Structure 1
Amino acid sequence: MRERAQALLIDLDGVLRRWDPAPMIAVELEYGLKPAALLETAMSWDIYRPAVAGEITDAEWMRLVAERLPIDPERAAAAVAEWQSDRGEVDPDALAFIRAVRAGGRKVGLATNATDRLRPDLDALGLTDEVDVVISSWEQKLHKPAPEFFHRACELIGFAPKHVLFVDDDNRAVLGARAAGLPAYRWAGPEHINYLNKALDLA
């Protein structure tokens, strides 16, 4: 990176929030579903994309998931509700990184593909006040990895793309950010935090 970044955009799921697969596995076993049936169904592009593009609500998305499960409709709805009661947990290393970046005088934005459930989730996880701005695909009607999402995110955080470091665990999002002119890095855990600090011109 030739120029130091002046702000950070960071992803939520897979970076700041992590998911233990055990609760989902337990639900699938309880309701006689094949392994990963819930996640695979939810991530079907024809229903996932409208959910993160602001076209349908989270509740509508989950209703579509339940309708596609190969079990009795009432049991399917119960399975989805039980699965969704788990909202993940904060990754302490990612949170410590964010706090250090902000303490160093850099703005931090949460840039994530999300539904209208994002804000309540952030409140429940205690993350609402841990970032300076939240850029939600559902609210912006734009989603990663589209360049327009990153352009809008840079506008909201107040810096030109070349001065905004983007961190995500999804390589497609990283490539999308780079195509939009942002320096971007794929998150694989805390082992490269020193490099990210250097990119932000922090000690």
Structure 2
Amino acid sequence: MSRERATALLLDLDGVLRRWDPAVAAGVEREYGLTEGVLGEIAMSWGLLQPVLTGQVSHAQWMSSVADALTPSVGADRARAAVREWQQYRGEVDPDVLAFVREVRTAGVTVGLGTNATDLLDADLAALGLVGEFDVVVNSSAVGVHKPAPAYFRAACEALGTPPKQVLFVDDEDRAVSGARAAGLSAYRWSGPEGLRYLRAALEPTQG
């Protein structure tokens, strides 16, 4: 039995629509005498990351914790300055993915942004020029639960107003893709713009 055609698209932000240039963090680390890769390593450690992705702490508090962790190696002032400079860079939009979002919305497909993010998301979307590009935005820190939890995908489908079996989810992380499929959504593992051909075909109305 074939699956129902997807009538809504749920798209991840980081790694799909937004790209990060690793040279930015590397430059900050060199400038402040930090170990290569340490900014991301500390920030993405689960003990610091999980609370900010579920809205238990703010983005500012998260970054303050990163600075605290760096303080023993470079001192408090330099640690805070390094984190501040690192955070000024908010990534870049992939123009091919944004064009695809606009294309499918014009064709009548409901498009949601489904992201594990912090309370800085709205400001980031404004800075990136993405305000108004989605029908709904499902931010883990606002929902209180993050991907790949089933409750996250339930909340996303409710926001889209679409049954899970009619939602196509796109993410660059295997765990999120597996979680979406377990929740009843169709899901595609993103590895780059070459995937747009598949997604267009998956969203096309069936003929006849």
What's the counterpart of residue 62 of structure 1?
Answer: 63
Check conservation: 1:66, 1:73, Cα contact below 8 A: yes
What's the counterpart of residue 78 of structure 1?
Answer: 81
The answer to whether 1:193 aligns with 2:199 is no
SS at match of 1:86: coil
Equivalents in 1 of 2:116, 2:195: separation in Å?
24
- Where in structure 2 are the equivalents of 1:9-158 lying within 5 Å? 9-69=10-70, 70-158=73-161
1:136 partner letter? N
TM-score with structure 1 length normalisation?
A: 0.98
Q: State the percentage of identical aligned residues.
A: 59
Equivalents in 2 of 1:152, 1:194: separation in Å?
28
Gap runs ≥5 in structure 1: none
SS at match of 1:128: coil
Equivalents in 1 of 2:126, 2:64: separation in Å?
24
Cα distance, 1:89 vs. partner? 0.6
Check conservation: 1:4, 1:200, Cα contact below 8 A: yes
Equivalents in 2 of 1:48, 1:93: separation in Å?
29
Check conservation: 1:104, 1:202, Cα contact below 8 A: no
What's the counterpart of residue 163 of structure 2?
Answer: 160
* Number of equivalences: 203
Aligned in 2, Cα 1:202/1:19: closer, same or farther, shift over 3 Å? farther
Say what the alpha-carbon RMSD is for the aligned residues. 1.1
Gap runs ≥5 in structure 2: none
Choose the corresponding residue for 1:179, options 164, 172, 182.
182
Cα distance, 1:21 vs. partner? 1.0
Structure 1 runs of 4+ with >6 Å offset: none
Check conservation: 2:5, 2:205, Cα contact below 8 A: no
The answer to whether 1:7 aligns with 2:8 is yes
Equivalents in 2 of 1:47, 1:202: separation in Å?
43
SS at match of 1:129: coil
Cα distance, 1:202 vs. partner? 5.2
Equivalents in 2 of 1:36, 1:129: separation in Å?
34
TM-score with structure 2 length normalisation?
A: 0.95
Equivalents in 2 of 1:200, 1:124: separation in Å?
29
